[in-house]
Chains A and B, each alone.
Chain A
Amino acid sequence: QLVVTQSPSASASLGASVKLTCTLSSGHSNYAIAWHQQQPEKGPRFLMKLNSDGSHTKGDGIPDRFSGSSSGAERYLTISSLQSEDEADYYCQTWGTDVVFGGGTKLTVL
């Protein structure tokens, strides 16, 4: 069964970097994912599509501070030079026959 798993929470200091993780279930390590950001009281926004080889395609207007990488079944979202507006929920999404979302990671900027 296709599942993506995320840690419920993460935190990092203003101006620092943070790396969020999305883990694909066994047998699905070659799947691509998408990362989405949801700021408080707003709808989600597409950040990027991330392939198993680490190549990624970002959405319109997404700053260079956001980048993606992959290792095995892990898919990462790195945010550098953290700003207050980066405090948000981050969701990974993948797809097979169905579309699957991770539970989301709540990022706190200290």
Chain B
Amino acid sequence: QVQLVESGGGLVKPGGSLRLSCAASGFTFSDFYMSWVRQAPGKGLEWVSYISRDGSTVYYADSAKGRFTISRDNAKNSLYLQLDSLRTEDTAVYYCARQTQTRAAEIDYWGQGTLVTVSS
């Protein structure tokens, strides 16, 4: 069955960096667009970024542009999100999510999330 397992979250100071990872299994990872979605405490879901199947196309929410970098390693069935210049408002649970094979469309599987806390 499809599994997405995030890791790499933790406590970091403002201005710091963190790298999130997502290990995928149960499907052909290289066939699917992938996204990161976050959820601040007590708030709704916010899309952060997506990446195409071969990694050649990436898109970011305005809140992530210039600070976050999405990437993937299809040989390792892994998705990554590099978080730089972190702010307190980046505190959230970060979810890895699978989209479709043809475009960044509906999300059909979610990971369990990893918590990032930005605080001094």
Contact = CB atoms under 8 A, between A and B. Distances in A.
B106 A101 contact: no
B110 interface: yes
19 contacts: A33-B106, A34-B107, A38-B45, A44-B95, A44-B107, A44-B110, A45-B110, A46-B108, A46-B110, A49-B106, A91-B44, A93-B47, A95-B103, A95-B105, A95-B106, A99-B35, A99-B47, A99-B104, A101-B45
Nearest to A89: B44
A59 interface: yes
B50 A99 contact: yes
Contacts of B105: 32, 49, 95
A104 interface: yes
B85 interface: no
Contacts of A44: 37, 45, 95, 107, 110
User: What 4 A-B pairs have minimum CB-CB distances, sorted nearest first?
Assistant: A34-B106, A99-B47, A104-B44, A101-B45
Interface in B1-52: 1, 35, 37, 44-47, 50
B47 A101 contact: yes
Nearest to A104: B44
Interface in A1-55: 32-34, 36, 38, 43-46, 49
State the main secondary structure of chain A at its contact with B.
strand
Interface residues of A, number: 24
Interface string B76-120: 000000000000000001010000000111111111110000000
A15 to B, nearest CB: 28
A100 interface: yes
Contacts of B108: 34, 46, 49, 59
Q: A32, A36, A44, A100 — which one has the most chain B CB atoms within 10 A of its CB?
A: A44
Contacts of A60: 1
A46 B109 contact: yes
A43 B107 contact: no
B21 to A, nearest CB: 16
Contacts of A34: 106-108
